[in-house]
Amino acid sequence: MIRASCQMWLVECRRTKSPSCLHCLVASLCLASPANMTIGDTVELSSPDKSVKVWVDTMREAVQLRVDWDGRTVLEPSPVGLRFADGPWGPDLHFGAVHRSSRDAIVACRGVHSRAREHFTSVSIELRRGDQVVGELELRVANDGVAYRLGFLEQRHYEIRGDLGAWRIPHDSVVWHHSNAVNYEGVYQKSAAGAMPAETVVAPPLVGQLAAGRAYFAITESGLLNASGLTLRCAGNARFENVYLHDPDGWTLHGPWSTPWRVLILARDLNALVNSDLVWIGAPPPAPELVGAEWIRPGRCVWSWRAEGTGDVKLQRRYVDHAVDLGFEYSLVDDGWEGWRENDLGPWKLLGDVVVYGRKRGVGIWAWKRWNELADADARRAFFGRLAEIGVVGVKIDFMDSESRERVRFYESALRDAAKARLMVNFHGANKPTGLARTYPHEMTREGIYGLEQDGGRGGGAAHDATLPFTRYIAGHADFTPCTFDPAMLSDTTVSHQLAAAIVFTAGGLLCWGDDPARYRSSPTADLLRSIPVAWDETVVLPGSAIGEVAAFARRHGEQWFIGVVNGPVARKLRLPLEFLGPGHFRCDMALDHPVEPTDVRRASKVVEAKDHLSAPLVAGGGFVARLVPIEDEPES
């Protein structure tokens, strides 16, 4: 009891910077004997701007992490550690050598912007059991959050049985969450953190808002390699525990090895939340041969499967023609092509004919494949080699439906083999992204989202769409297959809403449009639709945005800006400032909701500059789209 009280006093004294108080003096004397020298280790680290402060300690006879932000605690002391076959790893450890460093660098990125900033202070703490070094704790503290991982340095087998880590978030915060950690195709719910039932499964990222609307946080992971994916499970009272949902009995591996980064994003507003780089920079940089590889080309894609199925060669040639008309770079041949038969010709010859047809018209062809038919390395390499031989540019790999270590290792093996075959990759039936599109830039996108193909092609509806940009998309890109103009599929949304989703939702490197292109070509918004790019240089979340209510984004591609607004189920009118624009005048072409008919759209144009604002009247489930082109760069009509 005396020792515990002394440890508690030391923690509080160090936190409040009162090392000369009586409690601290008595505690130090109490703990000064050689037998107690390993108890009470504390390391403190601050972000570059000093707004985020982290304490990691063994005061409670376990390695624990605490985070303060702007002077208030946003993570109560929370355990860090793993459980092995021979017992827990964490409760009996103490600190050895401590190495501090910092980094500030700009790296290439693909998603909400084209450049990410690696800006953090860091510490590597030697972890000891007695006199033996058994591992290390690496900690990064950035202006927008904290990341940590555990490392094991010995070349031996580790029998991992579970994760002892947890997150004790503010009890009075609200959180957005869903429980589908199989393929991440879940619809988000909003809950009071302190009232969430114990045993609730949460598929990261878990996104929260502090009390009184005072900023946001998100919990997820980065750099998921050679490990089971992280799931969270509510333990009650706003405590969320790390669990390996798909490997409940653990796994065995040979070291050295590090866990993925466990990431806590901190954001003062939704713009900072969306623009956080913590997930991206936690993944390893790419191999030199993948940096700027000419065969890795972001682009837009037509896709027949949702609207008309895969059909035959004739249908796929028609979709190539659609891609040409829309100015898109790709067409995706989905499930069913391997059953093609035509006279004496089999599927490979017929797919090759589509590839040749597309190549002559400047359209690259992607092909679909079920993952379990690629699980064997030899079969996978042979399949990839054959795709490359006939000129296919990318492969869509489907139905992994797990985040087990075995399935996670498949993702990386597939990406490595695809790189050797110079194939781009789109994962469907997939888990959350963890920044590995940085490591493997030919991962152009992945599903892991409740997208437009769900619910018979209707998706999750207006509230779901207004939630996703601030929840699932915080983890990274997603293949939502946006934008239906089919009146039967609009659900509670409008045409303007659907078009805006192609701007608001971050596709990464491949934007697959989900409807019959004939509807796009005949739409009064066809000119805007053709101009929407897949990759962005800059993103600004505009005022008025609120999770589940409305998502208003301005995105820059080169010199042009695009505004997309996805409204939830309540009508509203937004005033959109244009302060993000550079100097000069811009031609602004807009698509607005029709006040009565959701399948119709109003068009308008005007000349604007940075001091102006746009008025966006939004019906329930509505949307707004604008394209802003510098007057001097506007192409002649």
263 and 388 inside one domain = no
Q: Which residues contact 18 (CB under 8 A, 6 or more apart)?
A: 24
Mean pLDDT across 383-409: 98
Out of 128-132, 201-205, 549-553, least confident range = 128-132
Is 61 a residue whose pLDDT tops 70? Answer: no
3-class secondary-structure state, position 586: strand
Could you tell me where the beta strands, DSSP code E, fall in 346-385?
364-370
Q: What local confidence, expressed as pLDDT, does residue 17 receive?
A: 38
Q: Which residues contact 636 (CB under 8 A, 6 or more apart)?
A: none
Last residue of a domain, one of 498, 532, 566: 532
| Rounded (10°) CA dihedral 17, 20, 26, 31 | 60
Is 633 a residue whose pLDDT tops 60? Answer: no
Banded model confidence at residue 593, pLDDT cuts 50, 70, 90: very high
Cβ-count burial 185-210 (b if 16+ within 10 Å, e if not): bbbbeebebbebeeebbbbbbbbbbb
Stated as kind and residue range, the H or E segment containing 46 is strand 42-46
Last residue of a domain, one of 481, 505, 532: 532
3 and 104 inside one domain = no
The single-letter code of the amino acid at 437 is A
Which of 64, 58, 54 has the alpha carbon at shortest distance from 31? 58
Domain membership flag for residue 637: no
Q: What are phi and psi of 415, to 5 degrees?
A: -65, -40
Stated as kind and residue range, the H or E segment containing 388 is helix 377-390
Is 519 a residue whose pLDDT tops 80? Answer: yes
Domain membership flag for residue 364: yes
311 and 437 inside one domain = yes
Q: Are strands 231-236 and 239-243 parallel, antiparallel or unpaired?
A: antiparallel
Say which DSSP state 259 is in. Answer: P
The two tokens of residue 175 are: 């959180």
Say which DSSP state 102 is in. Answer: E
Q: What local confidence, expressed as pLDDT, does residue 93 receive?
A: 85
238 and 343 inside one domain = no
Q: Is 226 exposed, middle or buried (0-12, 13-18, 19+ CB in 10 A)?
A: middle
Helix, strand and coil in the chain, % to nearest 5: 25, 35, 40
**Would you say 627 and 588 are in contact if contact means Cβ atoms under 8 Å apart?**
yes
Q: Are strands 330-333 and 364-370 parallel, antiparallel or unpaired?
A: parallel
The two tokens of residue 205 are: 């990222």
Is 275 a residue whose pLDDT tops 60? Answer: yes
Banded model confidence at residue 325, pLDDT cuts 50, 70, 90: very high
Domain membership flag for residue 483: yes
Q: Convert the pLDDT of each residue in 6-36 to its tens digit.
A: 434 343 444 343 433 434 433 333 333 332 2
Domain membership flag for residue 558: no
Q: Is 94 exposed, middle or buried (0-12, 13-18, 19+ CB in 10 A)?
A: middle
**Cβ-based neighbour number of residue 518 at 10 Å:** 14
Peptide linkage before 256 cis (omega within 30 of 0)? yes
**Mutual orientation of helices 2-16 and 22-30 as an angle, nearest 10°?**
130
The two tokens of residue 429 are: 């039936």
The two tokens of residue 635 are: 């192409």
Is 565 a residue whose pLDDT tops 60? Answer: yes
SS in 3 state form for 442-486?
CEEEECCCCCCCCHHHCCCCHHHHHHHHHCHHHCCCCCCCCCCCC
Half-sphere exposure of 417 (CA within 13 A, CB side): 22
Is 468 a residue whose pLDDT tops 90? Answer: yes
The two tokens of residue 431 are: 């888990």
Q: Is 585 exposed, middle or buried (0-12, 13-18, 19+ CB in 10 A)?
A: middle
In 201-277, alpha helices (H): 270-274
H helix and E strand count, the chain: 14, 37
Say which DSSP state 567 is in. Answer: E
Altogether, the residues listed in the chain come to a count of 637
Q: Convert the pLDDT of each residue in 238-270 to its tens digit.
A: 999 999 999 999 999 998 999 999 999 999 999
**Would you say 250 and 433 are in contact if contact means Cβ atoms under 8 Å apart?**
no
| Average pLDDT for the chain | 93
* Percentage with pLDDT > 70 across the chain: 93
Mean pLDDT across 74-89: 93
Say which DSSP state 488 is in. Answer: G
The single-letter code of the amino acid at 440 is Y
The two tokens of residue 247 are: 């490997």
262 and 319 inside one domain = no
- Alpha-carbon gap, residue 403 to 127, rounded angstroms: 29
- Alpha-carbon gap, residue 66 to 44, rounded angstroms: 10
Rg (CA), the chain: 26
In whole angstroms, how far apart are CA 634 and each of 325, 486, 577, 586?
A: 21, 31, 22, 9
Is 477 a residue whose pLDDT tops 70? Answer: yes
Which of 455, 470, 464, 454 has the alpha carbon at shortest distance from 621? 464
Domain membership flag for residue 130: yes
Domain membership flag for residue 607: no
Is 513 a residue whose pLDDT tops 90? Answer: yes
Mean pLDDT across 353-358: 98
Out of 54-68, 122-136, 363-377, least confident range = 54-68
11 and 88 inside one domain = no
Domain of 316, CATH number, reads: 3.20.20.70
222 and 297 inside one domain = no
Is 465 a residue whose pLDDT tops 80? Answer: yes
212 and 320 inside one domain = no
Domain membership flag for residue 49: yes
- Planar angle of CA 191, 242, 192, nearest 5 degrees: 10
**Would you say 145 and 278 are in contact if contact means Cβ atoms under 8 Å apart?**
yes
Distance spanning both ends of the chain, measured CA to CA: 82
215 and 88 inside one domain = yes
Residue 488 sits in which domain range?
288-532
Cβ-count burial 348-375 (b if 16+ within 10 Å, e if not): eebbbbbbebbeeeebbbbbbbebeebe
**Would you say 78 and 113 are in contact if contact means Cβ atoms under 8 Å apart?**
no
Which of 196, 266, 199 has the alpha carbon at shortest distance from 238? 196
Last residue of a domain, one of 282, 303, 338: 282
**Would you say 196 and 265 are in contact if contact means Cβ atoms under 8 Å apart?**
no
**Would you say 516 and 325 are in contact if contact means Cβ atoms under 8 Å apart?**
no
359 and 372 inside one domain = yes
269 and 292 inside one domain = no
472 and 335 inside one domain = yes
Out of 37-46, 76-85, 407-416, 610-619, least confident range = 37-46
Is 40 a residue whose pLDDT tops 70? Answer: no
Domain of 168, CATH number, reads: 2.70.98.10
- Alpha-carbon gap, residue 363 to 301, rounded angstroms: 9
Q: What local confidence, expressed as pLDDT, does residue 60 receive?
A: 67
Q: What is the pTM of this model?
A: 0.93
**Cβ-based neighbour number of residue 264 at 10 Å:** 24
Q: What local confidence, expressed as pLDDT, does residue 510 receive?
A: 98
What total of structural domains would you count in the chain?
Answer: 3
Out of 17-26, 165-174, 200-209, least confident range = 17-26
Domain membership flag for residue 442: yes
- Taking phi over 0 as left and psi of -120 to 50 as alpha, with beta for the rest, 611 belongs to alpha
- Alpha-carbon gap, residue 437 to 411, rounded angstroms: 11
